[in-house]
Amino acid sequence: MYQPKIADEHIQQLYQWAKRLEIPMTRLVNRLLEHGIARLAQGAERQEFVTQHRTILLELLAVQEKQEGPVQPLSSDVQPDTQPGLILTALRTATKPLWQDELAHVPGVNRRVLGRNLTRLCHAGHTAKTADGRYVAHGE
């Protein structure tokens, strides 16, 4: 079986970390690889998830357009498959202002960066925060 050589510059760092953590280098390398492989898998799953939900969101927009007239397109600086795009699309398709916790349950929205993205969208003028703390797409 092929066993790749670890670059010499990494060996010294791995040695120092293993020493600090008081674990064998082999265990440290295996843990790092497990974590890295899991993150790669999550990234692939996340991309597939966003791709699937992009279609659903676009279908929702088409349905809303038929019912209520044209839906405002996303501005050129907000792509539909990004976190801000998902948030903005959810706000534009919602029938009422949404709490941050409600937005956290939108498929594909990352809870960890939701508050930061809402703040950025508000500052950019894409969204607004109501007096009671809920969010709406700008102009609604």
**pLDDT grade, residue 122 (50/70/90)?**
confident
Q: pLDDT tens for residues 6-22?
A: 888 889 888 988 888 88
User: Which residues have a Cβ under 8 Å from the Cβ of 38 and sit 6 or more positions away?
Assistant: none
Q: pLDDT tens for residues 45-74?
A: 667 666 666 666 566 666 655 554 444 455
Instruction: Tell me how far apart the alpha carbons of residues 129 and 108 are, in angstroms, rounded to a whole number.
Output: 22
Beta bridge partners of 135: 98, 129
- Of the candidate CATH numbers 1.25.40.80, 1.10.357.10, 1.10.10.60, 1.10.10.10, the domain formed by 72-140 belongs to 1.10.10.10
- Which of 3-7, 81-85, 98-102, 103-107 has the highest average model confidence (pLDDT)? 98-102
Per-residue confidence (pLDDT) for residue 135, from 0 to 100: 94
Q: Where are the domains of the chain?
A: 7-71, 72-140
Q: Is the pTM of this model over 0.75?
A: no
Mean pLDDT of 78-89: 78
Contact 25, 14 (CB under 8 A): yes
